Chain A
Amino acid sequence: MAMKFEKKSEGVYMLDVRGYVCPHPQIYTKKALNKLNSGDILEVIFDNPSSGESIASMCDNEGNDITDKQREAGDFIWDIKKT
């Protein structure tokens, strides 16, 4: 599955990196967050568990908030609000 980045609505974006292994999910997440404006939401969908640890640490370091974490049959769906 190829990486997908879409605008879902005003200020809400979706990054689908299912099927990707480290370091792709965390690098794509970082690049997407860098591009967004403060207050925008990025929904990241990934299925590589270890990327979750890195994304959580990255958000903590950079002050971005993970506002929602969902699990669906091996997939992780996280909403990240850029501060």
Chain B
Amino acid sequence: MDNDERKKRLWAYGLLAFFALVSIGTYSYNEYYIYLSVYLWFGLIYGMCLQYGRFCFSSAFRDLFAVGVPRMVVGIMIATALFALVGALVSVTGMSTFHAAPTSAHATIAGFIFGVGMVFAGGCASGSLYKTGEGNGNALMVILSISVTQALFADMAGWTNKLVPQSWHDSAVEKGLPAVINAGDGWLDQYLAGYVWDQPVMTYASLMGMQNDSIAGAFVSNFLVGVILPAVVLLIVVYIFWSRKSFINKRKKLGKTGMTFRDDLNGYWTMIMASKRTAIAGLILGVACGLQMLVTQGLRVKFGVRNAGTLLERMGYDFGLSVNGTVFDPGYWYVTTQEAQWVGWVFNKMGADNMDNIYFGFVNGIPNPAINPADWMSLALIGGAAIMALLHNEFKFKKPTLELAIWAIIGGALMGIGSRLGLGCNIGAFFVRVSQGDVSGWLFGLGMIGGAYIGVKVFNWWTERKMAKEFEACGI
């Protein structure tokens, strides 16, 4: 081990010690901080897993379409299945923190916009966080773009009101939200209260006439029908179109010809186990995601609260709470809302009046990022990825080039808009919802796949032009 590697290892241990000190120090100050520390340590685990497994949701379908690599689709399906299994166990104990979202075509449209954005940006919302932990300045640009776009989009009013259908406006006003929110003003407010909230909320369990917390509802409907069945079918499609041919070619090299059903099963399993790093990361992520819900709900019961806003108020922090006294506190892995919140908080401190909308003012608030539970999770995620990258000598500061910065800003902006339209990103709107049997999860996923396909088409055109010049210069 050379000096540089030794230094990086010391930095990794230093970071770990820092997070431990934050947890111990804040807990000593007030026991309620343990609630924020749960977010912190799960965030750290997510960051370490994502970096170890190079676990980026955007690469799942992008790399499949662009270079024919199925490893990430497999990794995501493993993580989803494991999260779904642990989530089903948590559901039947009545300790789930999950709430299904409204289901309609909006999820697919949002997923499509998000999908194009994540290909342009070079990483999804969670992927950009972990790559920032690797020292990647481009990923940091993506995070900034997602954050700023969301904060602006959430409070957008003025001329955009003219784009709102009258039926949305009427429906939003009829909801009777507090006057301070002014639900009839602002594009996103009228979209949410006037359209999205009017859509049905469905899980596979409810569609089959069962309760989400019943054994049959959780394990048969939400887990088997909602996750395992579609995941197996999706991977069969991926195997047939992207992996089977190479499996046959490898068999031919070994002098084996002809394919039986048994051989195909073998090929299917080989595809699943092709990237052990990704599979292991998926497995740990899936289990950790389920456990986070259980631990968070346990603390809510212990402290007698339903939302972290109450804890913040008890600790004397009342700035940035919503009119309901709540802050964003999903109780599970989430990425984009806390990104919007910290920029929202900055804008507010700079004089913006941005609490008169549903997103910040009625639901999530804009607490100081230093005491925002979900921000603790995202910062620790970056830290966890940095620790893993430092330990494996993969940490490197990289400044974004102009070309990549432009892609990052455009892609980040599209992801920001897609997130707010779909009420979440690749984690909140896809991974978590699919895992918990929410019908809207796969709808967002379908849009994301379509968006990734279009994004790859654009990238192919862009890179083809650049490579053609290089080939010409080389005379080939």
Q: Which residues of A contact B (CB under 8 A)?
A: 1-7, 13, 19-24, 26-32, 35-36, 47-50, 52-54, 57-58, 60-63, 71, 73-75
Chain A residue, CB-CB nearest to B142:
A21
Contact check, B59 vs A22: say whether CB atoms are below 8 A apart.
yes
| Bound CA span A50–B467, Å | 22
Q: Write the chain A residue with the least CB distance to B404.
A: A21
Q: Which residue of B lies closest to A75 (CB)?
A: B396
B54/A49 in contact, CB under 8 A: yes
B420 an interface residue at 8 Å Cβ cutoff? Answer: no
Q: A26-B66, A57-B275 are in contact. Are A31 and B464 (CB under 8 A)?
A: yes
Contacts of B399 in A (CB 8 A): 19
B31 to chain A, nearest CB (A): 39
Alpha-carbon separation in the docked complex, A23 to B460 (Å)? 10
The smallest beta-carbon distance between B385 and chain A, in angstroms, is 10
Which of B70, B123, B253, B395 touches A21 (beta carbons < 8 Å)?
A: B123
* Residue pair A23, B4 in contact (C-beta under 8 Å): no
B59, B393, B459: most-surrounded residue (chain A CB, <10 A):
B59
**Is B249 on the interface with A (CB-CB < 8 A)?**
yes
B246 touches A23 (CB 8 A): no
Given A22-B123, A27-B460, A54-B63, decide whether A74 and B71 contact each other with a Cβ distance below 8 A: no
Q: Which residues of B contact A7 (CB under 8 A)?
A: 474-476
B131 interface contact, C-beta 8 A: yes
B470 within 8 A of A: yes
Residues in B whose Cβ lies below 8 Å from that of A49: 51, 54, 134, 389, 394
Q: A63 touches which one: B68, B119, B246, B473 (CB < 8 A)?
A: B246
A58 contact set on B, CB distance < 8 A: 67-69
Q: Which residues of B contact A19 (CB under 8 A)?
A: 398-399, 401, 404
Complex CA distance for A23 and B122, rounded to whole angstroms: 6
- Whole-angstrom distance between the Cβ of B185 and the nearest chain A Cβ: 39
**What are 23 contact pairs spanning A and B, CB under 8 A?**
A3-B470, A5-B471, A21-B122, A21-B131, A22-B59, A22-B122, A22-B127, A23-B63, A24-B463, A27-B67, A28-B463, A49-B51, A49-B389, A50-B56, A53-B275, A53-B277, A53-B278, A57-B274, A58-B68, A61-B243, A62-B68, A63-B250, A74-B395
Min C-beta distance of A60 to chain B, whole Å: 7
Q: Which B residue's beta carbon lies closest to that of A47?
A: B396
In whole Å, how far is A64's beta carbon from the nearest beta carbon of chain B?
11
- Chain B at the A interface: SS class: helix
Is A53's CB under 8 angstroms from B463's CB?
Answer: no
User: Count of chain B residues with Cβ under 8 Å from any Cβ of A?
Assistant: 56
Q: Report yes or no: A32 in contact with B467, Cβ–Cβ below 8 A.
A: yes
Instruction: Say whether A2 contacts B69, CB under 8 Å.
Output: no
Q: Known contacts being A23-B63, A49-B134, A57-B71, is A5 close to B467, with CB within 8 Å?
A: yes
Given contacts A47-B396, A49-B394, A60 and B463 within 8 Å (CB-CB): no
A21/B139 in contact, CB under 8 A: yes
B255 to chain A, nearest CB (A): 15
A60 vs B271: C-alpha distance when bound (angstroms): 11
**Across the two chains, which residue of chain B brings its CB closest to A13?**
B474
Q: For the complex, what is the distance from the CA of A13 to the CA of B459, rounded to whole Å?
A: 23
What are the nearest 10 A-B pairs in CB distance?
Answer: A74-B396, A50-B54, A5-B470, A21-B122, A61-B246, A57-B69, A53-B54, A7-B474, A58-B67, A49-B394
Complex: chain A residue closest to B53, CB-CB: A53
Q: Is there an interface contact between A62 and B246, defined as CB atoms closer than 8 Å?
A: yes
A3 and B473 alpha carbons, distance in the complex (Å): 13
Q: Is B106's CB within 8 Å of the partner chain A?
A: no
Identify which of A24, A30, A54, A60 contacts B122 (C-beta below 8 A). Answer: A24
CB of B58 within 8 A of chain A? yes
B416 to chain A, nearest CB (A): 18
A19 to B58, CA, bound (A): 19
Q: A26 with B63: in contact, given A1-B401, A2-B401, A31-B463 (CB under 8 Å)?
A: yes
B252 to chain A, nearest CB (A): 10
In the bound assembly, the distance between CA atoms of A3 and B469 in angstroms comes to 11
Give the CA-CA distance A28 to B470 in the complex, in Å.
11
